[in-house]
Structure 1
Amino acid sequence: MIGTQDPQSDPVVRLAAVTKLYGGAKNRVTALDNVSIDLHRGTFTAVMGPSGSGKSTFLHCAAGLDKPTSGTVHLDGVDLGPLKERPLTRFRRERIGFIFQAFNLMPSLTVVDNVTLPLRLAGTRPKKAQVNEVLEQVGLSGKRGARPGELSGGQQQRVAIARALVTRPAVIFGDEPTGALDTRTAADVLALLRQAVVVAGQTIVMVTHDPVAASHADRVVFLADGRFVGTLERPTVEQVTDHMTRMGSWSDRFATNEAEDGVRR
C-alpha cells in the first residue's frame, strides 16, 4: 500500500488490491496488477510510467470510469463497486472533476455556459458568486461571453479547469492536462492547479509523461507493467527524469524476463 503525506486523515481516494484484466484466456492483458494506494485531501499527485504501464487504466478505475476486475475503489468514502450506472454517473458529476488534454469544451457554448455545464446537467442552478469566483481564479473574468474558438489553447484549458472546480469536487483527475500546450502556457496551467491545492485545499491526481509537469506535484508515483514501482516526494525535474530513465531500463528487463517465463502481458 502506497500512502501519502498525511496518514492520519481519511483518504479521499483509496484503491485496495485493484486488478484490471482485458481480453480472454488466450490473449489476456493485465493492465493493473494488485494495485493499492491512498490519496489524501489537499494533495497533488502525479502518476507516471512508460507507455502501456497502466496509467490510463489507473485513472479510469480511480475515477469510476471503468470497473476493476477485482479489488475495491473508494472515493470520498463511497465504495464505487456496488453503484449502478445511473447513480455512478451522478456521483461522478457531483464529486469528481475532470481535466483532459483535448479540453473537451462545447464549441457552441460561451465560457460561462461551459463552466456551469456540470451544474446544469446535475439539475443545479449555478450561483453567480460561485461562477464569478472560479472565473476570477483562472483569470477569465473578462472572457465570460467568449466561445472556445475565440480563445487560445491555454485559455481553453483554463475554462476546463474552472469547469472542474465549479462543483467543488472531492477530487480532480487530470489526463495529460498540459499535453497540448506550449511550455509557457503549460507552466501557467500547472501553477493554477498548484494554487487550487495550496489555497483551496483541492485534491488533484494527474497522469502525465512530462517530468516538468510532474515536478509541480507533491508526490510522483511510478507505474510499470501495472504495478507501482516507486515514488518521489517533493520531486524535482531532474529526479523525475532520472527515475523514469532508470525505470524504463528496469521495465524493459522485466518484460524480457516475463516473456522468457511464458507470461503474456
Structure 2
Amino acid sequence: MTTEVVRLTDVRKTYGSRRNSVTALDGVTIGFPRASFTAVMGPSGSGKSTFLHCAAGLDRPTSGSVQLEDEELATLSEVALTKLRRDRVGFVFQAFNLLPAFSVQDNVTLPLRLAGKRASRESVDRVLAQVGLSDRRKHLPGELSGGQQQRVAIARALITRPAVMFADEPTGALDTRTAREVLNLLRASVDQVGQTIVMVTHDPVAASHADRVVFLADGRLVGELLRPSAEAVAERMTHLGAWADEQHAGVR
C-alpha cells in the first residue's frame, strides 16, 4: 500500500471575526501518496492558495488535521514548523524568488546554508544535472532565461531531498514551450526519483502532466480526474465554473 506523504483531514480555515467570517476551506479531506503528482484546480476564490498554504505548513487551519509523514503540524511550535518546512518541504512559485547577486550554485544551496549544513559537491552536481543546468552553475540569474531561472528554483527545492514539493502556478510566467519543458522536468522528478508534487494551477495543459487533478469550489473538494487529458480538465473546469456561479446565485 502506498504511503501518504501528506494527509489533510477535515481541514477548515476561516478568516475574520465571527460576524464577518469567510470560510476559505470547508472540511477538506485528502491524501497525497509518495511519488505522485497531483494538480489542484478550481475557479477564482475556490480556496486553492489557502489549501496549499495549509498543506505546506505556511498557514495553520482553524480546525482539522494536517500530517506530513509522521508529524502532526498542529502540535508543532513555530520554530519546529519552520525547521520542518526548511528540511522536508520544497517550494516553487510563479515568481522565481532567486537572489540576483548569487550564482546559480549559491541560489540552489541556500536552503542548506540557512540550515547550517554544508552542501556536498555530489548533491549539487546531482540536482543541477537533474534540471539540465550543469554548465550554468557560475551564472547569475540575470544571465539566464525565465525557464532556466525556474529550473534553478526547482533545483533549490530539490536540494534538501524534500518529502513533498509544493508548486504554486510554476509555469504562470513562462511561454508555452518553456512551460512544457518545466512541466516535463517536474514529471521526470516524480517518475525517476520518486518526488511527491502538489501543484496549484489554472492551466489544463499543465494539469495534464499530473497523475491526478483534484477540483476545489467554495472551499470544498468537488471531484477529481485520474490520468487527465487537457481536454477533460478544461471541460470539467467549464462545468465547475458554471456550478460555482449557480451556487453563489443561490446564496444571493
Taking the aligned partners of 2:212 and 2:132, their CA distance within structure 1 comes to: 27
TM superposition shift of 1:69: 0.2
Give the equivalent residue in structure 2 for 1:179.
172
- Output the CA distance in 2 between the equivalents of 1:183 and 1:9: 33
For 1:122, the equivalent position in structure 2 comes to 115
* Aligned residue type for 1:253: E
Pairing partner for 2:24 from 7, 24, 31: 31
Partner of 2:104: 111
Q: 4+ residue runs of structure 1 moved beyond 2 angstroms?
A: none
1:240 equivalent in alignment to 2:233: yes
State the SS of the aligned residue for 1:199: helix
Task: State the alpha-carbon separation in 1 of the partners of residues 243 and 80 from structure 2.
Answer: 41
Q: State which of 138, 143, 148 in structure 1 corresponds to 2:141.
A: 148
1:225 counterpart residue number = 218
Mapped to 2, the partners of 1:9 and 1:202 lie a distance apart of 13
Answering whether residue 78 of structure 2 is matched by residue 92 of structure 1, we say no
Matches of 1:153 and 1:31 in 2, distance apart? 32
**Structure 1: distance between partners of 2:28 and 2:35:** 22
Write the distance in 1 (CA, Å) between the matches of 2:136 and 2:4: 36
Match of 2:188 in 1: 195
C-alpha distance in 2, partners of 1:27/1:242?
Answer: 35
1:204 equivalent among 197, 217, 240: 197
Q: Name the counterpart of 2:5.
A: 12
**Could you tell me how far apart the structure 1 residues matched to 2:69 and 2:194 are?**
14
* Counterpart AA for 1:52: G
Matches of 1:84 and 1:255, distance apart in 2: 38
SS at structure 2 position matched to 1:89: helix
Q: Does 1:61 align with 2:31?
A: no
- The gaps in structure 1 that reach 5 residues or longer are 1-7, 260-265
Aligned to 1:213, the other structure's residue is in SS state helix
TM-score normalized by the length of structure 2: 0.99
Q: What is the CA–CA distance in structure 2 between the aligned matches of 1:84 and 1:150, rounded to whole Å?
A: 40
Distance 2:21 2:84 in 1: 31
Amino acid at match of 2:29: S
CA distance, structure 2, for counterparts of residue 215 and residue 10 of structure 1: 23
SS at match of 1:97: strand
- Matched residue type, 2:4: P
Give, in angstroms, the shift of residue 10 of structure 1.
Answer: 2.5
Query: Which secondary structure does the structure 2 equivalent of 1:231 belong to?
Result: strand
Structure 2 spans left out of the alignment, 5+ residues: none
Shift of 1:17: 0.3
Counterpart Cα distance in 2 of 1:9 and 1:247 = 30
Structure 1 residue 258: Cα displacement: 2.2
Q: Which amino acid in the other structure matches residue 239 of structure 1?
A: A
Between the aligned residues of both structures, percent identity stands at: 66
Give the drift of 1:256: 1.4
